Amino acid sequence: MKLFEQQELLIYNSLSKEKEKFSPINEGAVGMYVCGPTVYSNVHLGNCRTFLSFDLVFRYLKHLGYKVRYVRNITDAGHLENDADEGEDRIAKKARIESIEPMEVVQRYTVDFHTVMNAFNALPPSIEPTATGHIIEQIEIVKKILSEGYAYEKNGSVYFDVLKFNEDHAYGKLSGRQLEDMVANTRELAAQSDKKNPQDFALWKKAEPQHIMRWPSPWSDGFPGWHLECTAMSTKYLGSNFDIHGGGMDLKFPHHECEIAQAEASNHQSPVNVWMHANMLTLNGKKMAKSTGNNILPNELFSGDNDILSKPFSPVVAKFFMYQAHYRSILDFSNSALEASEKGFFRLMDAYRSLSGIEVSETTNFNIGEWRQSCYDAMNDDFNSPVLIAQLFEATKFINLLKEGKATITKGDLGTLQSTMHDFLFEVMGLVDVSVSDNQDGNKLSEAVEILIELRNQARANKDFATSDQIRDQLLEAGIQLKDGKDGTTYSLN
Ligand code: AMP
Ligand code: ZN
């Protein structure tokens, strides 16, 4: 019997705004699509949070015994600078600024994305299709929507006719926006726009002469609208009705709303059974974003090279920190929160490791079976990782009692405790057992640098600048950079 036959999984569906019992379209198999990155710059920790939220979903579904086809695309064309179908293509713009080919931009940041996901020990998706690899499929969908009467062509571009679509369907049901309000609140169309209404969105855009990312189509040499690629790739690999579609909260509107409209207009059915949206990682209370510069890059975190960090943090600690919040809650990033997570993470790892040295007994004074089910209950309740982690800390308390000889455990229960902790720590959350020596090496380095910082402070207080400079310069030569800030001196690894 598979685990999914024993466990009842509830998932919050952004469409119904309720937690629903999950039951896949095809028994034992799950199709899941998640919007991937637009590869025009390095992913920041906010992007990582969304992808790690879905890594948890992917891993738990697999753990339950489902055969999962997880499709996560790479947006390598069509994503313009703003949501109103205006401005330059983000990738083409970066290529122009750096005087390189757009595909060089795509390659550089796709590699960066994969490297970062690997560092976080995220599983690769089953299929990772690209927008540029599916131009033909996208053109076919445009033709279909035109033939259904929900799109119009103007000067070589094709736009989705939102008002027409809304006569027969409900546009706005995912985001809860009413078309009437949108019409009332939208500014006048720019004079040069080919759109009939500001709510309409581009399915195909005619390329300006200088636009190099262009493909032939029945309407013009041009490029597809951003929303279209996800409809094309999700339906190609998962069918016209599939189980789960995910992305960050900020994609609900317009991106996912438009995806629903395109799919309903071309396939006459609702494309997705469960819409899942991951909440934002914030910094100083504001959304981490590429455009505002309010973000931290993974490499800054791993090296400690950012003014808000007191030291480097390992990827697994950052991942643990993220999973200490539920994926639908906003999470604020801070150095102190990371430090607290680091302590908790190592406490869990120490407890897990010490299980191999525990002596068994005739009785157990902890209900292991109930505890194990409570771990499943946490994950079955819309992937509630903070509650799962709280349960793992409950086990840690018991393990510490065992170590002190204040509790006992039978051989069978010890086996269950060990395998359950292993499953949830490593298989479901995908954490990595940073070994004792790694941990100790990291801590020892940290302590040694602190001693040198203190000696340097003393030298400066004595106006012995030759010594204080020597400490700073020699540490730098060894790849350790000191940073003087208003709260004292911190360091990063170069
Ligand atoms: P993009 O490359 O901009 O298309 O974004 C890739 C993914 O990251 C999308 O699912 C976004 O919703 C998500 N995302 C962007 N900013 C944040 C943030 N601050 N916190 C969490 N997810 C984010
Ligand atoms: Zn998408």
Q: Per-residue pLDDT tens for 414-429?
A: 999 999 999 999 999 9
Q: Per-residue pLDDT tens for 103-138?
A: 999 999 999 999 999 999 999 999 999 999 999 999
Kindly report the protein residue whose alpha carbon is nearest to atom 1 of ligand 1.
37
By most ligand atoms within 8 Å of CB, the mutation choice from 39, 47, 226, 295 for ligand 1 is 47
Mean pLDDT over 449-457 rounds to: 86
What's the gap in Å between 251 CA and the centre of ligand 1?
Answer: 8
Looking at residue 436, its pLDDT comes to: 43
Atom of ligand 1 nearest to the CA of 279: 21
Looking at residue 446, its pLDDT comes to: 75
Mean pLDDT over 262-275 rounds to: 97
What is d(CA 479, CA 297) in angstroms, rounded to the nearest whole number? 19
Angle subtended at Cα 445 by Cα 443 and Cα 450, rounded to the nearest 5 degrees = 95
Q: Look over the chain and give the mean of its residue pLDDT values, rounded to a whole number.
A: 93
Please tell me which residue, 454 or 156, carries the higher pLDDT value.
156
Q: How confident is the model at residue 455 (pLDDT cuts 50, 70, 90)?
A: confident
Number of Cβ within a 10 Å radius of residue 29: 13
Sheet holding 272-278, edge to edge: 67-72, 29-34, 242-248, 272-278
Atom of ligand 1 nearest to the CA of 249: 12
Instruction: Output the ligand 1 site: residues, CB below 6 A.
Output: 35, 37-38, 46-47, 49-50, 247-248, 250-251, 280-281, 287-289
Number of Cβ within a 10 Å radius of residue 136: 10
Looking at residue 490, its pLDDT comes to: 83
Whole-model pTM: value is 0.90
333 in Cβ contact with 301 (< 8 Å): no
* 3-state SS, one letter per residue, for 378-402: HHHECCCHHHHHHHHHHHHHHHHHH
Please tell me which residue, 433 or 257, carries the higher pLDDT value.
257
For 310-322, give one letter per residue: b (16+ CB within 10 A) or e. Answer: bbbbbbbbbbbbb
- Domain ranges (residues) in the chain: 3-278, 282-428, 440-493
> Lowest mean pLDDT: which of 86-95, 276-285, 368-377?
86-95
Q: How confident is the model at residue 494 (pLDDT cuts 50, 70, 90)?
A: confident
CATH T-level topology, domain 3-278: Rossmann fold (3.40.50)
Atom of ligand 1 nearest to the CA of 50: 22
| CATH 1.10.730 describes domain 282-428 | yes
